[in-house]
Amino acid sequence: MTLKNGNYELLRFPMKMMNITQGNNGQFSHQGVNALDIAGKDAGISPTFAPCKMVIKRKEGYGQGNAVFAESVDKVMFADGTVDYAKFMFLHDNYTGDFAVGRVFQQWEEFGDEGTAGYATGNHCHFEVAKGKLVWDKAGAGYGYYGRNNSTGVWHLQDSISADKACVVDGVTIKNGNGMAWKKSSEVKTGSSGIKWTAENGTATFTRNNIRIHEDGPTGKVISGVQYNAGQSVRYFAKCAYKGHRWVKYRRANGGIGCVAVSGSEKHGVDPWATFK
């Protein structure tokens, strides 16, 4: 079953048993980085699962731990309530020949296994997660999709974050959570930016030109090359007041969320840029 919050998949923990044997800043091989080593239910080999609908972007050889890099197909919701694309690194699967680069896996579809490929002393999955899309050799700061902690010399997924701020644990048995702040989907709080949305269904018809469209919310990326002009309209499902404007949210034709300003003031009825019904 797909786990969602509104229109977004929630990232799921990539194993059904959580038994963390080394956590963030672990002194064996994680010094200064956000990374987890996850053992399964016993000393055998347990499967790993896609945290969301994801596409395989790169695979590396046995000497590199059979590293697998993947990213979300769409924007997803993180356990900290933020919305962005997600990127992942998985290590130590003993055999990755059963899937190719470009293969898409659905959320929590089995795609690999824990193992000992590369530098590993026992069966486990090394897991790292970050926000955004994979970028090759980020400004020369690392190599490929890796970054490097200059203080400790440890290589890691670019921009990796603590996994408890990314993944929810619905359906996961926690044997050892490493003292981290894990959440279930019901505990994820959205709107951490301070924006308070009010649910309302209506149609806004613009009365001025050059209304820019933002992705997801007022602080989202401006979508280049498209805008609304006088006479055009959107069917919205939520509204808010934020930083000098009133805004509405609507579902775009491509399935994403758009957000547009409908007035030049946060006060209702002041400097309207649209009519409503």
Tens digits of residue pLDDT in 139-190 = 544 567 887 777 787 888 888 999 999 999 999 999 999 999 999 998 987 6
Residue 247: predicted pLDDT: 95
Contact between 84 and 68 (Cβ < 8 Å): no
The tokens for 55 are 């596409």
Domain segments of the chain as ranges: 4-187, 198-276
* 198-206: strand order across its sheet: 222-228, 211-215, 257-263, 245-251, 233-242, 198-206, 274-276
Beta-strand runs (E) in 68-154? 68-72, 76-77, 83-84, 86-91, 104-105, 110-113, 125-131, 146-148
Asked if the domains at 4-187 and 198-276 fall in one CATH topology, the answer is no
Measure CA of the first residue to CA of the last residue in the chain; give whole Å: 37
User: Residue 194's pLDDT band (boundaries 50, 70, 90)?
Assistant: low
Protein fold of 198-276? SH3 type barrels. (2.30.30)
pTM: predicted TM-score of the whole model, two decimal places: 0.69
% pLDDT > 90, the chain: 59
The residue among 23 and 140 whose pLDDT is bigger is 23
- Give the best-scoring range by mean pLDDT among 33-37, 60-64, 125-129, 139-143: 125-129
The topology under which CATH files domain 4-187 is Glucose Permease (Domain IIA) (2.70.70)
Confidence grade of residue 5 (pLDDT, cut at 50, 70, 90): confident
